[in-house]
Amino acid sequence: MNKIKELFNIQYPIVQGGMIWASGWKLASAVSNSGGLGLIGAGSMYPDVLREHIQKCKKTTNTPFGVNIPMLYPNLEEIIKIIIEEDIKIVFTSAGNPKTYTSFLKEKGITVVHVVSSLKFALKAQDAGVDAIVAEGFEAGGHNGRDETTTLALIPMIKEQIKIPLIAAGGIATGTAMYAVMALGADGVQIGSRFVASEEASSHPDFKKMVVDAKEGDTHLTLKELAPVRLLKNKFYQDVANLYAKGASVTELKALLGRARAKRGMFEGDLEEGELEIGQVSGLIHDIKPVAIIVKKLINDFENTRKRMSNINFLEE
């Protein structure tokens, strides 16, 4: 039995990333209904909006789903309260200390998973008592690790030293990539960028089109002094680059970033002045499809890759 399937009681070891401005109830329920684990992204929601999305998700799927909580966001205590009241059974935490809420959530019967970008933080998360870890490589979109460790290097390093289930993230948009990271020791995958380019994602259609049009080299990790984030290159990104070229201070970077910059880009569709978060693997995403078709293709490609690899024997004379 696969550890991730067993932990979440799902058909496939595929978890949808809880991305801001993309992961509303429509995306989460569609992924869950397709056999994976859908996540509602609480990071872009006021508490009352989160409650609404949870309730709508309950009405549209009878299969497990969870909530992703970036712990650096405000209203954290109120968000936790809503999760308890709405009887959510799976919580993914990120961007903070897993010790803060893991014990409390587990006492409420909630399965807790923490997202990390390094071996050091993976070990801390395990010590905090989480049920599983998402290890996210440098390729991933959105907020990222400062050390720039790739998924290919990160997964086996963490697998070597932890005992709990491991989910790989970063640069995974195909069944072949899913096979690769599971061969390296992952028990399942978390996929973000591929699900942004889905019909059910709540992100703006113009942003989805820009993701589909992206080529190799069109994203870059920046703003490490604040919180490292991988962005599509647009006018806002160039403004950031120009500030760096002038030797800008953290205060100047914060002033340029301002408030709601990600909402402006990914949700409202301002492709010039908005912050457009997406992974390097966007260069492999060429269409916007329903989630059910995306998941089906992931599984078919995984199986085809598994069969192809089983027929390879380079030791034969």
pLDDT digit string (tens) for 214-248? 999 999 999 988 888 999 999 999 999 999 999 88
The mean pLDDT of 158-180, rounded to a whole number, is 97
CB-CB neighbours of 243 under 10 Å = 16
Give the chain's mean pLDDT.
Answer: 94
Q: How far apart are CA 266 and CA 9, in angstroms?
A: 32
Per-residue confidence band for 258, with pLDDT thresholds at 50, 70 and 90: confident
Task: Give the tens place of pLDDT for each residue, 105-153.
Answer: 999 999 999 999 999 999 999 999 999 999 999 999 888 878 889 999 9
Q: How far apart are CA 302 and CA 292, in angstroms?
A: 15
Which helix (H) or strand (E) is 3 found in, with range?
helix 3-8
CA 28, chain centre distance (Å): 12
Task: Give the tens place of pLDDT for each residue, 83-106.
Answer: 999 999 999 999 888 999 999 999
The Cα-based distances of 15 to 46, 71, 246 in angstroms read: 23, 19, 41
The mean pLDDT of 24-34, rounded to a whole number, is 98
Per-residue confidence band for 49, with pLDDT thresholds at 50, 70 and 90: very high
Q: The whole model's pTM is what?
A: 0.95
Task: Give the tens place of pLDDT for each residue, 268-290.
Answer: 999 999 999 999 999 999 999 99
pLDDT of residue 314: 74
pLDDT of residue 312: 83
pLDDT of residue 173: 97
Label the pairing between strands 111-116 and 132-136. parallel
Residue 275 contacts residue 266 (beta carbons within 8 Å):
yes
Beta strands, E only, 192-287: 219-222, 229-232
The mean pLDDT of 241-260, rounded to a whole number, is 90
pLDDT of residue 300: 98
The mean pLDDT of 8-36, rounded to a whole number, is 97
Q: How far apart are CA 238 and CA 273, in angstroms?
A: 10
Label the pairing between strands 38-41 and 65-70. parallel
Per-residue confidence band for 317, with pLDDT thresholds at 50, 70 and 90: low
Per-residue confidence band for 73, with pLDDT thresholds at 50, 70 and 90: confident
